[in-house]
Chains A and B, each alone.
Chain A
Amino acid sequence: MTAKPTVNVSSSGSSTALRGPAKLEVKDFDLFYGSFQALKKVSMQVTERRITALIGPSGCGKSTLLRAMNRMNDLIPSVRTTGEIVLDGKNIYAPATDVEALRKRVGMVFQRPNPFPLSVFDNVAYGPRAHGLRNRAGLRDVVEKSLRSVDLWDTLKDDLDDDALTLSGEQQQRLCIARLVAVEPEVLLMDEPCSALDPIATMKVEELMQKLVEQYTIVIVTHNMQQAARVSQDTGFMLLGDLVEFGLTERIFTRPTEKKTEDYISGRYG
């Protein structure tokens, strides 16, 4: 493992010239679970208002990298990190970082929809309440706006008091996205958001992502290469903790420069 000098990081890959400013920059990032190294000197750039996909075989560290971007890994006691992840010019691993404020800006949608066992309203209002919004009318507005942004408002506006766990899987995942949108984040991290959904629901959630990216920066982890090709503008391919290749989705899927990437894309890995 040779360390790349950090200056090169943002310009690695052939397509950087086409990009806007970096929203989030991962610089020489290592992550250890105890003595096991799950991320090895990963460097990449997430560009504002684009969808960045992370692909790779199971266990290669996609979720770990995603969770590193809003420090969800802090919740696991054995985790140690080195290197930086820079959000709008500030290293989020700097000691003075307010982790709650960070997570408000960089939110996460999980693989399995995980609405809270509360009403639809309370699910969406949860984040704003946690960040201090108390007034009833204000909360109502946020809930309506957030549910509209995921196209759930018309379906659920009369059932806001229903237990969220009674919704369908797709609706639950939409609700989880609405819950996130309600805290007005800047970056949405999505860890295989469609893997628990059927094809039609998957298509709808992908459409939703295309709509959301007009306002938000999105990073999505997916097992499904077609999905990465369909929805993303940038793609990173990971293998055993290494970010093997990173670049424009179109190029990664048509002209990968690394042999390993090509092998994976043509289906020679599990």
Chain B
Amino acid sequence: MKDRVIEKALLLAALSAIGILALITIFIFREGLPVVFSKGPGEFLTGTVWQPSRGHYGLVPMIVGSAIVTFGALIIGVPLGLACAVVLAEMAPPRARKILKPTIELLAGIPSVVYGFIGMMILVPWIRNNPALGGTGSSALAASIILGIMILPTIIGISIDAIEAVPRSYREGSRALGATEWQTITGVVIPAARSGIVAGVILGMGRAVGETMAVIMVAGNSVQIPDSILKPVRTLTANIALEMSYASGQHEQALFATAIVLFIIIMLLNSLAGLARRKKKRKRKLKGDPAGGVEVA
């Protein structure tokens, strides 16, 4: 009897959580879609001018801004994160790994405003005063670097799990052929862990696309398609956060339309990450194992 009550309560909680998410989604689309249809989707997706006061709602500068900082973040975060994951999973003594892995996971918990603040106080002035860089400092470059650091925990954590899941027999097989430790890592371990690593990268990408506060603090936020990474950019998320406090009417709806674009991008990235994780297993199942009876891990 008591069990059934608890079961019902849990079910109710689960349903309301899903219900709330569904309501939010419906709300975003209900608020954003009318202006998309009245202006035409083309205006949003191909227009390069964002001037709400004149009724121009082109999202291209923001889409480009998000794309640049995300791409920049990946250029910085992926090699760094992968190298870090390889060292921690393969080379570091177990004791160091036990301490460092949770520490890195902790980095993911630091509020983004802290990253943004550090970026504002240190990174932006450094770029501004560096003779090789220059500009105002608040730039696509600054945002890329900060985001690159912010996505490290995601990439490192998931990559370590993927690398550790590579069976020992692969490593032994490689070493037994006379391959060095390094050849084994690049030749067998990373290829075997690839789908997990790709999933980590895509999730990191999702984090970079969605990050708002830290980006606003260092990116400069002017609405333009930048001609250099030292120029300021505005991302989709920044666009909503910066204007929501005073937007009304069609302008407010246009911000919801921005949210729809973001929503779709994030959904796509998440399903890609899921696909990358699952793809491998499915491929293995295609051909049976008629004679062997050797199961594949």
List the interface of chain A (C-beta within 8 A of B): 70, 72, 75, 100-104, 107-108, 110, 112-118, 126-127, 129-131, 163, 165-172, 176, 179-180, 183, 196-198, 200-201
Contacts and interface: CB of A to CB of B under 8 A. Distances in A.
Contacts of A176: 173
Interface stretch (B33-41, B136-144, B180-188, B209-217): B180-188
20 contacts: A75-B171, A102-B178, A103-B177, A107-B176, A107-B178, A108-B176, A113-B292, A114-B167, A116-B191, A127-B177, A127-B178, A130-B174, A130-B177, A130-B179, A130-B180, A130-B183, A166-B287, A168-B291, A169-B293, A180-B176
Interface string B150-191: 000000000000000001011111111111100100011001
Contacts of A200: 291
A196 B292 contact: yes
Contacts of A103: 175-178
Interface in B239-267: none
A112 B292 CA distance: 11
B286 interface: yes
B172 A183 contact: no
Contact of B292 (A108, A127, A201): A201
Contacts of A163: 283-284
Given A127-B177, A130-B179, A110 B293 contact: no
Contact of A72 (B167, B170, B172): B172
B177 A169 contact: no
B289 A180 contact: no
A118 B192 CA distance: 8
B6 interface: no
B178 A100 contact: yes
A116 B293 contact: no
Contacts of B293: 169, 196, 198
Interface residues of B, number: 29
B164 to A, nearest CB: 16
A131 B180 CA distance: 10
Contacts of B109: none
Contacts of B175: 72, 75, 103
B20 interface: no
A166 B178 contact: no
Contact of B172 (A100, A114, A172): A114
Given A163-B283, A196-B292, A112 B169 contact: yes
Contacts of A196: 292-294
Contact of B177 (A75, A170, A179): A179
B290 interface: yes
Nearest to B183: A130
A70 B187 contact: no
B184 to A, nearest CB: 8
Given A112-B294, A170-B292, 12 more contacts: A102-B178, A103-B178, A108-B176, A116-B173, A117-B192, A126-B179, A126-B187, A130-B177, A166-B287, A169-B289, A172-B292, A198-B291
